[in-house]
Amino acid sequence: MLNMAILISGRGSNMHAILSSHAQSELRNIQPCVVISNNKDALGLKIAKEQFGIATEVILSNGKKGWEYDKEIASVLKNYCIYPSNGIICLAGYMRILSSQFVRQYKLRILNIHPSLLPSFKGLHAQKQAFDYGVKISGCTVHFIDDNVDTGPIIIQESVPIYDSDTEEDLSNRILQLEHKLYPLAIKLFSEGKLRLEGRKVYLVEK
């Protein structure tokens, strides 16, 4: 059984998708323990608590950067028995960059969802970047976190078309629907030990 933390900064729709998937018994090897946010007003906190009965924690940065802030997250994780040996940490719209000290502690146990086909359109506003660039296909990526932004080994990706009639909002919504499907799937594969890493490539192992 893996103890899971979800880190959010806002709306929390991916968190909702993960917790729904768990509630429907699709993530049998996962125990959701806590939702942590750097933003006390994150809508997702209310959803986690009221809809799913999951504990929530707010850790305000108060100007703290890097490891100085992340060590507070590490301490909360330990309070919920989420250790590098049994933990999974899912970033779901978490808008802070994790320090290398934290990433090293929880090596290959931190997953992130990004709304583009990486390595294209890293960083903020990926949907807008893709839309403005004029690509005809975009999508989303679930990947492990490494020391750089949006560069970690890719677990799973899927694409969506971009039509001439689309607005940026149409594209964002289309990608978001896909995110809600793909993130729980990636977590399930990870929790069932079906991912094997070789170099930076992630292979699916059939068990």
Task: Enumerate the active-site residues.
Answer: 114
92 lines the binding site for ligand GAR (CB under 6 A)? yes
Question: Smallest distance from the beta carbon of 12 to ligand GAR, in angstroms?
Answer: 5
Question: Smallest distance from the beta carbon of 35 to ligand GAR, in angstroms?
Answer: 11
- Where is 196: in which H helix or E strand? strand 195-198
Show the CA angle centred on residue 122, arms to residues 6 and 109, nearest 5°: 35
| DSSP 8-state class, residue 194 | -
Out of 14, 56, 99, 138, point to the residue binding ligand GAR (CB under 6 A): 14
What are the backbone dihedrals phi and psi of residue 47, each rounded to the nearest 5 degrees, phi first? -65, -45
Interface stretch with ligand GAR, choices 65-73, 75-83, 99-107, 110-118 (CB under 6 A): 110-118
* In the block, residue with structure tokens 């108060």: 62
User: Strand pairing of 2-8 and 87-91?
Assistant: parallel
Out of 87, 93, 139, 184, point to the residue binding ligand GAR (CB under 6 A): 93
**144, 134 in Cβ contact below 8 A?**
no
Q: Which is nearer to ligand GAR, 181 or 196 (CB)?
A: 181
Q: Which is nearer to ligand GAR, 32 or 93 (CB)?
A: 93
Interface stretch with ligand GAR, choices 12-20, 77-85, 152-160, 184-192 (CB under 6 A): 12-20
Interaction residues for ligand GAR, span 115-144 (CB under 6 A)? 115, 126
**Secondary structure string (H, E, C) spanning 127-181:** HHHHHHHCCCEEEEEEEECCCCCCCCCEEEEEEEECCCCCCHHHHHHHHHHHHHH
Sketch the per residue contact string, 166 through 205, with ligand GAR: x for CB under 6 A, - otherwise: ----------x--x--------------------------
**153, 142 in Cβ contact below 8 A?**
no
Binding site for ligand GAR (CB under 6 A): 8, 10-14, 92-93, 113-115, 126, 176, 179
